[in-house]
Amino acid sequence: MKKFLFFLFCFVFTLAFTLSSASNTTHAEDNLGKSQYNTSDYDQLVREDALDPSVSRKQWEELKQEAYKEDQKMRKEPAVDTYSKSKYHMRAGDVLISNGTSGSFHLPGHAAIAISSKKLVHIAGPKAHPATHSLKWFKKRYTKHHSYIKMYRPKKKSAGKKAAKWSRKNIVGHKWHYQINNKRNEVHPTYCSKIVYQAYKKGVGSGTMKTSSKIILPLQLPQYSHGSGKLHRVKTFR
């Protein structure tokens, strides 16, 4: 009888411990994505001139939460691409959007624009300047740690060409410094999604990007696109 009670006690204890561990693990996984974006990096970014002081701390925290929600939304999108079964070839004006972080701070999302079939331009983050790279380089860097890259193409090929031309003239080769700001009419300072936004709005026409008073999040670029510049997904890399 004593032996039976001993084994019963061991079984109950083991079961309780297992359930508790599973619950804690699930809870930790559920909060993993949120916790990494709750770090207060506002002061550091302002000191480094990577964030315009006119952006309040509250706005910055709200922006991070909004970016996190957009990431979750994009992860749930149906995995159906225009070129899902055929080879994708980058085209001038294509927009690259990743949920990987573009700098040392925890704000999900990064964007770039193709300036030709071979090269793209982006600005990586704080203390960086605009740089050109190949699609291969971009894929290697921004598909790490379960990140994805979604390729978007404008409705009209001519719109993509004009956006790429604007980027080559106004971004490539310029030493603009990185700063997240609300200065949508000024080319510099700039940040990744601002480059794409302005490439279409200034390079193609104001009707290709909806006007906004907010900071443009990379993951929201397709929502802002409009008319001949309306972006549709053509390929996903993971």
User: Is residue 14 scored above 70 in pLDDT?
Assistant: no
Pick from 62-66, 77-81, 200-204 the range whose average pLDDT is largest: 200-204
Residues 6+ apart with CB under 8 A from 220: 70, 193
CA neighbor of 60 nearest in space, from 214, 233, 225: 214
Q: What is the pLDDT of residue 107?
A: 76
Domain boundaries along the sequence of the chain: 1-35, 72-237
Q: How far apart are CA 138 and CA 136, in angstroms?
A: 5
User: In what side-by-side order are the strands of the sheet with 131-134?
Assistant: 131-134, 119-122, 108-114, 95-101, 149-154, 231-237
Q: What is the pLDDT of residue 40?
A: 63
Cβ(121)–Cβ(96) below 8 Å: no
For the ranges 30-34, 75-79, 102-106, the lowest mean pLDDT is seen at 30-34
Q: What is the pLDDT of residue 13?
A: 47
Per-residue pLDDT averaged across 144-171, rounded? 96
pTM of the prediction? 0.81
Structure tokens given for 171: 């971004």
Q: What is the pLDDT of residue 186?
A: 95
Q: What is the pLDDT of residue 123?
A: 97
Q: What is the pLDDT of residue 77?
A: 81
Helix (H) or strand (E) holding 235: strand 231-237
Confidence of residue 19 (pLDDT cuts 50, 70, 90): very low
Report the CATH superfamily, name and number, of domain 72-237.
endopeptidase domain like (from Nostoc punctiforme) (3.90.1720.10)
Give backbone dihedrals phi and psi of 86, rounded to 5 degrees, phi first: -125, 165
What is residue 142's three-state secondary structure?
helix
Per-residue pLDDT averaged across 180-197, rounded? 95
Q: How far apart are CA 195 and CA 173, in angstroms?
A: 14
Q: What is the average pLDDT value for the chain, to the nearest integer?
A: 84
Burial class (CB in 10 A: 0-12, 13-18, 19+), 15: exposed
Q: What share of the chain is helix, strand, coil (3-state, %, to 5)?
A: 45, 15, 40
End-to-end distance of the chain based on CA atoms, in angstroms? 58
Q: Which residue has the higher pLDDT, 64 or 24?
A: 64
Per-residue pLDDT averaged across 13-40, rounded? 40
Q: What is the pLDDT of residue 31?
A: 33
Per-residue pLDDT averaged across 82-87, rounded? 76
User: Is residue 112 scored above 90 in pLDDT?
Assistant: yes
Residues 6+ apart with CB under 8 A from 39: 106
Q: What is the pLDDT of residue 12?
A: 45
Per-residue pLDDT averaged across 110-114, rounded? 98
Q: What is the pLDDT of residue 29?
A: 28
